[in-house]
Amino acid sequence: MTSGHAVRVAVSLAQEHGITVREPVVLNDSFNLRIHLRPAPIVARVPTVTALGRERPEQALLRELQVVSFLYGLGAPVVPPSALLPPGPHVRDGVAVSFHAYAEHDPAYAVTPDAAGKVLAELHAGLREFPGELRYLGPVLDEPVRLLELLDGEVEPDALAGCETRTRSWSRGSAGLPRAGRRPSMGTRIRAICSPPPPGCCGTTSRSA
C-alpha cells in the first residue's frame, strides 16, 4: 500500500458521504497515515506500518473509536471521531480508514511533565469504567509475533532466532506484571501528550493537537 493509494481511498470514502475534499494534506506519515481532508474539518487515519503487525487492522481502529468516544463523552481532553460522516472503520481495496475531527494545532503551547502526568492519570481513571474489552498488553504481545512471521526468509536466520528468543522472554516476563485495578489505555494515543503531534492529529489531547 502506497501513501498515494491510501489518500485516494480516504478521499473517495469521504466524498461518497457528501464531504467536499479539495486539498487533502498529509499531516503525518509514519506508523499511521493522517490526512486532513481540507477544507473539511476531518482527519482520516490509515494504519500503514502498524497494519503489518495486525491481521485485521480495522479491529484496532474500531477499538480506538470506541475508547475515544467513551472518553470524549466523559469530558476527557481527546479529539473525537468525526460527526460529519460515519467514522468507520471502513475497509476498501485493502485499506482500513477511520475519520476523526480536525483539531487546530497550537505550536506555542508546551505540555509540562506535570500536566501530562495529570491528564494521563485522568484518562486511566476514566477507562476503568469503559464497558468494552481492552486486552491486557494485547498489541505489545501479539504484534511482534506477527512481525517476526513476516520477516521469516527476509533476514538472516540467526538474527530472526535472536528476535524470537527476546520476544518469548518478554512474553514470559509480562505474565508476572500486576493487573489488579488497572485498565490499559489502548487506542487513545495518549502518548502524544508528552510529544506534540503534527497539526490536526487525531486521537490525541485537544490542547496538544
Report mean pLDDT in 10-residue bins for the chain, 209 residues.
88 94 90 92 88 75 91 90 94 92 88 89 88 72 67 67 67 53 41 40 42
Q: Could you tell me the strand order of the sheet in which 90-92 lies?
A: 21-29, 32-39, 42-47, 95-101, 90-92
Residue 174 lies in a domain: no
Return the CATH number at 36: 3.30.200.20
Residue 91 lies in a domain: yes
Residue 130 lies in a domain: no
CA 103 to chain centre: 16
Residue 28 lies in a domain: yes
Q: What range does the domain containing 68 cover?
A: 3-110+186-193
Nine cell digits for residue 131 = 464497558
Number of compact structural domains in the chain: 1
Residue 137 lies in a domain: no
Task: Find, among 35, 5, 1, 3, the residue nearest to 21 by Cα.
Answer: 35
Q: Residues 67, 189: contact at Cβ < 8 Å? A: no
Residue 121 lies in a domain: no
**Residue whose C-alpha cell is 535472536:** 162
CA distances from 197 to 3, 85, 128 (A): 19, 24, 26
* The predicted structure's pLDDT at residue 37: 95
Q: Residues 43, 100: contact at Cβ < 8 Å? A: yes
